[in-house]
Chains A and B, each alone.
Chain A
Amino acid sequence: MSIFTEKVGMTRRQFLKGSGMLAVAVIVTGVFAKIGFDAFAASDEYIDQRIAGLYTLDEQMAIRKSHENPEIIQIYQDFLSPGEQKYLSEKAHHLLHTKYGKDIPAFIEELNQHRDVA
């Protein structure tokens, strides 16, 4: 039985067409890749600038630690823990701690119960 097979190799015309098709695919992909990589680089640059901006703002602040803030010290001395600076006082805990939930009236009731706790 005869077996017919194709001739291997390629002609110059076939080579040029194959290369052309490949080149077009590479160029189109390259253009898209460039858009992506440029956007990635721009994003990285933005993040770097944002980080630098935040650090600069922080360094320029007169008071950089909340426990050294005279107003915070005073509110503890006068109200949250009278006569001392007790940062985790029961009153501070109940007034400053954030609670999440749907039962808002219950939270208000709980706050009112601790209004007079020193």
Chain B
Amino acid sequence: MSEEVIKGKVLKHDTQTRTMHWLHLLAFIILGLTGIGFYWDIAGIANIFGGPANASLVHRWAGVVFTVGPILYILLNFDRFSRFVDTITSFSRDDFAWLKTMGGYVPFIKIEEVPPQEKYNAGQKILGILIIIGCILIIITGFPMWLWCDVVSSAFLAICYNVHFWTAIIMILLVLGHFFLAAIHPKSRVEFASMMLDGYIDAEITAEHNAKWFAELQKTE
């Protein structure tokens, strides 16, 4: 392996992406918290938001933010969105090789070298696809429960409630896993500051974790 030290910084996430991520994260936390409070009837959670009626109101309007935020981002940054979608839906042999080794994150899978990855590794790609599908499902089942609960059939409403609940549970687990890998795991926690603060990450880390993408960045320099 080359011992060359790569100096510099990589702008991994620009301001608009970070703003959208923050907005979506805050909305998601409020929605998850109030939703858990409703489902298991936990008075303590409802009381944080001023009682069940207010918690319900907060849940619905946080849902509006959760919906409008990404829509605005996509419409104003269609090129960034398209690049993101292209990256997360393109799987090469290196991605499958990465998945076989779990990127070196799992302690009992010993590997010599992690296959080179693009801007997002194979795990992040799968997460990205699941989050998009999850968001669509949770949005399209949430609004009928709010706006059309008096007019749609009870069977349709029951489907909405079930899909909404199970999608939310899966999303919460995915986000917890995402948070662990991006903010706590010693191998990858450098990602946290990149998305949550200034958007920059050391070029040396990028060259190691996202070798294919970094090679492209070097070409454009």
Contact = CB atoms under 8 A, between A and B. Distances in A.
B144 A32 contact: yes
Interface stretch (B6-14, B20-28, B49-57): B6-14
A40 interface: yes
B11 A3 contact: yes
Nearest to A30: B140
A15 B82 contact: yes
Interface in B205-221: 206, 214, 216-218, 220-221
B79 interface: yes
The range of chain A's interface size is: 20 to 34
Nearest to B74: A22
Interface stretch (B34-42, B93-101, B146-154, B177-185): B146-154
Contacts of A8: 79
B82 A10 contact: yes
For the complex, would chain A's binding face be called helix, strand, loop or mixed by DSSP majority?
helix
Given A3-B11, A18-B82, A43-B150, A29 B140 contact: yes
A4 B151 contact: no
Dominant secondary structure of chain B at its interface with chain A: helix
A6 interface: yes
A10 B79 CA distance: 6
Nearest to B81: A18
Given A2-B203, A5-B11, A14-B86, A29 B136 contact: yes
B85 interface: yes
B110 interface: no
Give the one of A2, A6, A29, A40 with max B CB within 10 A: A6
A104 to B, nearest CB: 35
B8 A28 contact: no
Contacts of A39: 148, 151-153, 156
A13 B79 CA distance: 11
Nearest to B207: A4
5 contacts: A3-B11, A4-B218, A18-B82, A32-B141, A35-B144
